[in-house]
């Protein structure tokens, strides 16, 4: 193996590990998001990120990942802020308000990203890769940045897990006992925005919400304990990200984002079918056993 090939292989492994770390953190944060029923808020944040990517490029002229993701985070938070304002100061329903923010922000983002080259910004080519993810463009430095963001998010979840769990299951009781429910809600949504932004290079703006939502939904089939669900969701997210990146590296013509989501969907399908208590097979078997017992009881009653 030549020195260049060795460096390339090393970078590939580092990038895969960085993206896998993001998948783990997305699953961990997504558990709180799903339990608190804030998945649509994450979708609004995700579709606003393209505006931030284009805005960061226009403001700085730089295309390094840290600058673009910083702009995406600002735009994601702005999108969430607009969502809150529309809900609070208009009579628009939550689902309609979310659809409004998603449509407007995503339309503006697509316009900016696709229009920059035509407006004379020749070095803006490639920003559209944030639509579906493109790990081949990441460097080892970018991967370390993503891993650091993932570590911060996981640490934040560990710090607020007890309080977030209480708010998710009984917000009224949490408020009555003095817990800052709104603050915890904002913390959860902020972490979701952070992971949506960190997931852009791997999954892209269109599909990044799936990386936050599918792993916890799959993990919920296997356990009733929140701590176990959080860890299992993180492992599912890690595995989906690793499989998607590996498949994309093996077949460069395939976009990374859809492959990651397909891998996560496969984990969901296995969970839906094979989970020991909540899986479809287990529930069908339990229903069949219950039907057999009822038939036996009816026959016994008829015999007497």
- Considering the domain boundaries, does residue 242 fall inside one? no
Residue of 221, 229, 214 lying closest to 260 (CA atoms)? 214
Does any domain span residue 84?
Answer: yes
> H-type helices in the chain, by residue range?
3-35, 39-60, 65-89, 94-115, 140-169, 171-176, 181-198, 200-203, 208-220, 226-250, 256-274, 280-303
Residues in the chain: 304
Is residue 278, in this structure, part of any structural domain at all? no
Domain assignment present for 143: yes
User: Does residue 286 form part of some domain?
Assistant: no
Q: Is the dihedral of CA 156, 160, 162, 165 positive or negative?
A: negative
- Cα separation, 166 vs 168, whole angstroms: 5
Its domain, for residue 100, covers 3-213
Helix 3-35 vs helix 208-220: angle between axes, to the nearest 10 degrees? Answer: 60
Q: Estimate to the nearest angstrom the gap between the alpha carbon of 56 and the chain centroid.
A: 22
Chunk the chain into consecutive blocks of 10 residues (it has 304) and report each block's average pLDDT, rounded to whole numbers: 48 80 94 86 88 89 87 91 86 85 90 81 75 78 89 94 88 84 88 90 85 93 92 95 85 82 94 90 82 53 52
| Alpha carbon distance 270, 94 (integer Å) | 32
The answer as to whether 303 is a domain residue is no
Contacts of 43 (CB under 8 A, 6+ apart): 98, 102, 209
Instruction: Please give the pLDDT value at position 89.
Output: 84
| pTM listed for this prediction | 0.85
What is the model's pLDDT at position 14?
78
Residue 221 falls inside a structural domain = no
DSSP 145-186: HHHHHHHHHHHHHHHHHHHHHHHHH-HHHHHHTT--HHHHHH
244-250 CB contacts, 8 Å cutoff, 24+ apart: 244/202, 244/203, 245/15, 245/16, 245/19, 245/20, 245/135, 245/202, 246/16, 248/135, 248/136, 249/12, 249/16, 249/135, 249/136
pLDDT (0 to 100) of residue 7: 43
Question: Residue 117 CB: number of other CB atoms within 10 A?
Answer: 15
Q: How many domains does the chain have?
A: 1
pLDDT computed for residue 237 by the predictor: 94
Domain presence at residue 281? no
Residue 193 maps to which CATH number? 1.10.3470.10
**Given this model, what pLDDT does residue 293 score?**
52
pLDDT at 87 (0 to 100): 83
The backbone torsions φ and ψ at residue 99, rounded to the nearest 5 degrees and listed phi first, read -60, -35
């Amino acid at each position: 193996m030549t020195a260049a090939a060795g460096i390339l292989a090393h970078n590939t492994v580092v990038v895969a590990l960085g993206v896998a770390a993001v998948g783990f953190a997305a699953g961990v944060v997504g558990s709180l998001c799903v339990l608190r029923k804030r998945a649509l808020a994450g979708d609004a944040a995700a579709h606003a990120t393209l505006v931030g990517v284009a805005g960061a490029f226009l403001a700085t002229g730089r295309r390094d990942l840290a600058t673009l993701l910083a702009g995406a985070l600002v735009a994601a938070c702005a999108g969430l802020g607009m969502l809150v304002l529309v809900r609070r100061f208009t009579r628009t329903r939550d689902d309609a308000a979310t659809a409004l923010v998603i449509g407007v922000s995503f339309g503006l983002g697509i316009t900016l990203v696709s229009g920059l080259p035509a407006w004379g910004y020749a070095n803006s080519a490639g920003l559209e890769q944030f639509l579906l993810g493109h790990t081949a463009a990441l460097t080892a430095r970018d991967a370390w940045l993503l891993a650091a963001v993932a570590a911060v998010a996981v640490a934040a979840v560990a710090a607020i897990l007890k309080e977030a769990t209480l708010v998710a299951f009984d917000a009224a009781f949490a408020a009555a006992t003095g817990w800052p429910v709104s603050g915890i809600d904002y913390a959860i949504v902020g972490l979701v925005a952070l992971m949506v932004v960190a997931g852009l290079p791997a999954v892209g703006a269109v599909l990044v919400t799936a990386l936050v939502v599918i792993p916890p939904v799959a993990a919920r089939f296997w356990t009733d304990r929140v701590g176990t669900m959080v860890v299992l969701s993180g492992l599912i997210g890690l595995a989906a990200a690793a499989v998607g990146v590996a498949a994309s590296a093996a077949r460069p013509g395939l976009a990374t984002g859809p492959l990651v989501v397909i891998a996560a969907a496969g984990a969901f399908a296995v969970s839906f079918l094979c989970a020991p208590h909540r899986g479809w097979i287990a529930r069908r078997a339990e229903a069949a056993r219950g039907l057999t017992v009822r038939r036996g009881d009816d026959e016994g009653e008829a015999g007497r």
